[in-house]
Amino acid sequence: MDTTALANLLFPDITKTIGDYETIYPPRDLPEGAVVTRIAPSPTGFVHLGNLYNAIGERLAHQTGGVFYLRIEDTDQKREVEGAVEAVIDAMTFYGVHFDEGATADG
């Protein structure tokens, strides 16, 4: 079985092509060498040192004229803690980590 047939078997409801997504999400207009990175914590508790370590990407992105964004992990909804998203945003703000895109405290 080729990969296209397998993909169609596994994901029969997907109708968009790669080209469709490239149209929806065109290349960013950023300077040469700009870094686009993100942090994607799971909202299952408090911010920990690993989250802050990953936030080094914020400095790399901003020093190169790039973009740093917050993506809240949503694959572990059974363990999600109420208020954890806001706690992540508040903690990152406290430590001087600033997001250009993604989840915000006001939704």
Model's pTM, two decimal places?
A: 0.75
Q: How confident is the model at residue 101 (pLDDT cuts 50, 70, 90)?
A: very high
Q: What is the pLDDT of residue 46?
A: 83
HEC secondary structure over 29-82: CCCCCCCEEEECCCCCCCCCHHHHHHCHHHHHHHHCCCEEEECCCCCCHHHCCC
Residue-wise pLDDT for 9-59, tens only, equals 999 999 999 999 999 999 999 999 999 999 999 888 888 898 889 889 999
Rounded mean pLDDT of the chain? 91
| Domains by residue range for the chain, with CATH | 31-102 (3.40.50.620)
